[in-house]
Amino acid sequence: MTTTVLMTIYILMWPVLAALVLIALTVGVIKDYADARRENRSVV
């Protein structure tokens, strides 16, 4: 692998990781909201 390919992979890795973290947080919030609604209580 050339240096250019390695740099490209390294640079493109960060947006993917950020997207995965955002997805994980969103799924957690949605689950918390659903649990709160099921138990008839406030999310906050």
Q: Do 37 and 30 touch, CB atoms closer than 8 A?
A: no
User: What pLDDT is attached to residue 1?
Assistant: 76
User: What domain count does the chain have?
Assistant: 1
Along the 44 residues of the chain, how does pLDDT read in single tens digits?
799 999 999 999 999 999 999 999 999 999 999 999 999 998 88
Write down the pTM of the prediction: 0.72
Per-residue pLDDT, 43: 84
Q: How far apart are CA 14 and CA 21, in angstroms?
A: 11
- Quote the pLDDT of residue 40: 93
Q: What is the pLDDT of residue 38?
A: 95
Q: What is the extent of the structural domain holding 42?
A: 1-44
